[in-house]
Amino acid sequence: MKALLLASLLESSLNSFQKLSVTHCYAIKCGSVSDIYVSNRILDSYIKFGFLGYAHKLFDEMPQRDSVSWNTMISGYTSCGKLDNSWCLFTDMKRCGCYVDGYSFSRLLKGIASAKRFHLGEQVHGLVIKGGYECNVFVGSSLVDMYAKCERVEDAFEAFMEISEPNSVSWNALIAGFVQVRDIETAFWLLGLMEMKAAVTMDDGTFAPLLTLLDNPMFCNLLKQVHAKVLKLGLEHEITICNAMISSYADCGSVSDSKRVFDGLGGSRDLISWNSMIAGFSKHEQKESAFELFTEMHRNWIETDIYTYTGIVSACSGEEHQSFGKSLHGLVIKKGLEQVTSVSNALISMYIQFPTGVMKDALSLFESLKSKDLVSWNSIMTGFSQKGLSEDAVKFFSYLRSSNIEVDDYTFSAVLRSCSDLATLQLGQQTHALATKSSFESNEFVTSSLILMYSKCGVIENARKCFEQISSEHSTIAWNAMILGYAQHGSGQVSLDLFSQMRNQNVKLDHVTFTAILTACSHTGLIQEGLELLNSMEPVYKIQPRMEHYAAAVDLLGRAGLVNKAKELIESMPLSPDPMVLKTFLGVCRACGEIEMATQVASHLLEIEPEDHFTYVSLSHMYSDLKKWEEKANVKKMMKERGVKKVPGWSWIEIRNQVNAFNAEDRSHPLSKEIYLMIEDLTQEMQWLDSDKGIDQASLIGVNFVF
DNA sequence: CTAGGGTTAG
């Protein structure tokens, strides 16, 4: 009677913690706790409900324990990431003379796998061999998985070969290992081998990880083939495969196909399906659809999690989503997710991308985040760099270096961009050395930043060296950087040559390529070439000209004094010109002495961007040139009334780790007297060179600088 | 009481 009652109690305890407690009390009362089977069942239930403490107490009080009791405790600790406790239990188990079996090994190895403790894994492998469990399919698969998670695919392969009859789980674990190290070829080769084996069948566990490899438009066809195979095997309703396909289609550039898979799931979609679809939409600038899904989730009372929030927060980038983004931040706080690193990271980069506001919001979030990871640091540094606060970016880099977080290619790219912004060669070189040491030098983003840094610092030869060393000859961003480097260096012809090489070698061109090449034309006075390129962008290269291209073209025409042509260009634009184009045009008007046109453009600019000092300063300078003092005074008055401050322009030079900064009419430098004398000398020399007799001798003159 | 698989931020 007692045994029967206990058995039924144990059965119902599986889904209620309260019933479990009652069962435990009853078992104690009738002395059944000494029954190993009963105690093991209670132990397991405590662990399933997450009450590890209760479980351990019961375990300690058990008069007798068998392998099952020990194994249950081991897996209890592995599943909550407490590997050290599992390991202690494992060693105690052996010490107590309890029989270590296949179950013990697979559970321990699972913990080692998720902790990626390769050396411990190797030790356990030794024990597995000693115990003769190598060919056991469960232990063997655990070993394969352990090595795979530690990214030791060779070892995983060897362990796999030891399994006498590998099943689909063994195969899947091995394939997943090659997926993890992004060895696409081997992963698909193994898939082919697996297909030929009659003893194993490919299942959802085979395809889900494989699909995550297909994250680039170049895999579009492969993805379709895999999809076809999935259909052929009748696996198209497997949730994990569908979820992986939603992401893959989005990454391969076909969100509509993602949506089709998502819709096909109907009511069987789970949280991951929703999250993947939201992330897919926000990656592909289909922000509105992402927002719609998010509200639909709420309408349907679907639980959200951190992935939902990282996805939806990253959909808020532009000005138009600013207020929604802020409400999301509020929601995150309400849900108590603000200290979750990934969520906070997404919020930080959201604040950085808002056009207004400097770094205040992003920075305060960053500072209050308790566990910052590399992404947090990289985001904040990129933010500083993008907002023109490069000194802060560099400062944060040194903070980061003094922490024990390893830096990566994103870090180097951000720091090097700041170095080029600051034109600080020494720091740039030091960073270059660090990048080389940690072998991130060959990363295309790092290389491009190096090229930009060296060209900005005037060491174009070094920029060229970096460019020559790029591993992927088809890196568009590296070519763009080099073209821009030569453009800034005044070697527009070299830029144009590189551009034609780029076309000959079938390197993909993008909108940045055209900004770079138009800048090159502008700086070298190649008017005709520049205009032809602008006009060919859309019809020949299928790249729609953006504002920056028009601005570059206006600048190009302006430098040649063709104000009217510039005006015509602006009027012919398919979109109405943005402030950047207008400001460029204002500069052109001023330089060409077109006062009337300048006044017109300026008054328009003052209306749309009243807070920007540029327009006021341009006008003020123009009136000074024309000696129109009254007008100049009006402009100054307007600035004062509107609270607009002139931002002085600075120049600086780095000499032996010391930055020497100057602005107009500055006499604060300790060597000011000598500097001004030298400037006078140089000016005279330039004037002389500019005269007829100077030109022929120009190449013979070496100018020595005193500092 | 054992083993594998799908989502996130720069």
Q: Are residues A10 and A103 in the same domain?
A: no
Asked if the Cβ of residue A85 lies within 7 A of any atom of strand B, the reply is: no
Q: Look at residues A253, A282, A311 and tell me which one is the last residue of a structural domain.
A: A282
- From the CA of A502, how many Å to the C1' of B7? 38
Residue A606 lies in a domain: no
| Beta carbons of A343 and A332 less than 8 angstroms apart | yes
Asked if the Cβ of residue A79 lies within 7 A of any atom of strand B, the reply is: no
Q: Are residues A183 and A142 in the same domain?
A: yes
pLDDT band at A33 (very low <50, low <70, confident <90, very high): confident
Closest nucleotide relative to residue A271's CA, C1' based: B7
Between A589 and A349, whose confidence is greater?
A349
pLDDT band at A697 (very low <50, low <70, confident <90, very high): very low
Nucleotides of B under 7 A from a protein CB: 1-10
What are the CB-based long-range contacts (under 8 Å, 24+) for A236-241? Answer: A236/A264, A237/A268, A238/A203, A238/A204, A238/A207, A238/A208, A239/A204, A239/A265, A239/A268, A239/A269, A239/A270, A239/A272, A239/A273, A240/A204, A240/A205, A240/A208, A241/A204, A241/A207, A241/A208, A241/A211
Q: Is A705's pLDDT higher than 70?
A: no
Q: Look at residues A282, A313, A334 and tell me which one is the last residue of a structural domain.
A: A282
Asked if the Cβ of residue A170 lies within 7 A of any atom of strand B, the reply is: yes
Residue A118 lies in a domain: yes
A660 beta partners:
A653
Q: Are residues A173 and A96 in the same domain?
A: yes
Average pLDDT value over all residues in chain A? 89
Q: A44-56 pLDDT, tens per residue?
A: 889 888 888 899 9
Q: Are residues A144 and A165 in the same domain?
A: yes
Asked if the Cβ of residue A76 lies within 7 A of any atom of strand B, the reply is: no
* Segment A687-704 mean pLDDT: 54
Between A663 and A106, whose confidence is greater?
A106
CA A658, CA A600: separation in Å to the nearest integer? 44
Q: Are residues A59 and A158 in the same domain?
A: no
Q: Is A703's pLDDT higher than 60?
A: no
Q: Are residues A73 and A192 in the same domain?
A: yes
Q: A114-133 pLDDT, tens per residue?
A: 999 999 999 999 999 999 99
Q: Is A707's pLDDT higher than 50?
A: no
Closest nucleotide relative to residue A179's CA, C1' based: B5
CA A321, CA A351: separation in Å to the nearest integer? 11
Tokens of A608: 């749309």
Give percent of chain A above pLDDT 70: 96
Task: Please give the C-alpha separations between residue A633 and each of A197, A594, A637, in angstroms, as whole numbers.
Answer: 87, 20, 6
- From the CA of A236, how many Å to the C1' of B2? 29
* Segment A20-36 mean pLDDT: 83
CA A698, CA A690: separation in Å to the nearest integer? 9
- From the CA of A544, how many Å to the C1' of B2? 59
Which range of residues forms the domain containing residue A213?
Answer: 203-282
Considering only residues 130-169 of chain A, list those whose CB is below 7 Å from strand B. Answer: 137-139, 141-142, 145, 149, 167-169
Between A81 and A3, whose confidence is greater?
A81
Q: Is A704's pLDDT higher than 50?
A: no
- From the CA of A142, how many Å to the C1' of B5? 14
Q: Are residues A57 and A94 in the same domain?
A: no
Task: Measure the CA angle with vertex A320, ends A317 and A323; round to 5°.
Answer: 85
Between A175 and A614, whose confidence is greater?
A175
Q: Are residues A142 and A172 in the same domain?
A: yes
| Beta carbons of A409 and A374 less than 8 angstroms apart | no
* Segment A301-323 mean pLDDT: 92
Among A435-444, A571-580, A688-697, which is the least confidently predicted range?
A688-697
CA A153, CA A186: separation in Å to the nearest integer? 10
Q: Are residues A83 and A195 in the same domain?
A: yes
- From the CA of A652, how many Å to the C1' of B2? 67
Closest nucleotide relative to residue A149's CA, C1' based: B4
Return phi, psi of residue A652, to 5°: -150, 155
C-alpha neighbours within 13 Å on the C-beta side of residue A154 = 0
Q: Look at residues A175, A200, A225 and tell me which one is the last residue of a structural domain.
A: A200
From A499, A495, A500, A469, select the one nearest A484 (Cα to Cα). A495
Q: Are residues A89 and A134 in the same domain?
A: yes
Q: Are residues A190 and A107 in the same domain?
A: yes
Asked if the Cβ of residue A180 lies within 7 A of any atom of strand B, the reply is: no
- From the CA of A313, how many Å to the C1' of B1? 42
Closest nucleotide relative to residue A44's CA, C1' based: B1
Helix (H) or strand (E) holding A662: strand A658-663
- From the CA of A332, how many Å to the C1' of B8? 15
CATH number of residue A120's parent domain: 1.25.40.10
* Segment A687-697 mean pLDDT: 63
Q: Are residues A129 and A164 in the same domain?
A: yes
Q: A448-506 pLDDT, tens per residue?
A: 999 999 999 999 999 999 999 887 778 899 999 999 999 988 898 999 999 999 999 98
Residue A321 lies in a domain: no
Residue A341 lies in a domain: no
Between A603 and A665, whose confidence is greater?
A603
Residue A147 lies in a domain: yes
Q: Which residue is nearest to nucleotide B9 (CA to C1')?
A: A346
Q: Is A681's pLDDT higher than 90?
A: no
Residue A678 lies in a domain: yes
Residues whose CB is less than 8 angstroms from the CB of residue A435 and which lie 6 or more positions away in sequence, other chains included: A412, A416, A441, A446, A450
Closest nucleotide relative to residue A139's CA, C1' based: B3
Helix (H) or strand (E) holding A166: none
pLDDT given at position A698: 42
Tokens of A304: 């959200």
Most confident listed range (A381-390, A519-528, A557-566): A381-390
Task: Please give the C-alpha separations between residue A521 and each of A480, A525, A546, A559, in angstroms, as whole numbers.
Answer: 14, 6, 17, 11
Task: Please give the C-alpha separations between residue A328 and each of A298, A332, A338, A480, in angstroms, as whole numbers.
Answer: 13, 6, 11, 37
Residues whose CB is less than 8 angstroms from the CB of residue A584 and which lie 6 or more positions away in sequence, other chains included: A551, A554, A555, A558
| Beta carbons of A453 and A467 less than 8 angstroms apart | no
Residue A241 lies in a domain: yes
- From the CA of A70, how many Å to the C1' of B5? 28
Asked if the Cβ of residue A314 lies within 7 A of any atom of strand B, the reply is: yes
Domain count for chain A: 4
Residue A256 lies in a domain: yes
pLDDT given at position A67: 92
Pairing label, strands A658-663, A650-655: antiparallel
* Segment A647-659 mean pLDDT: 71
From A362, A311, A307, A369, select the one nearest A339 (Cα to Cα). A369
* Segment A523-549 mean pLDDT: 88
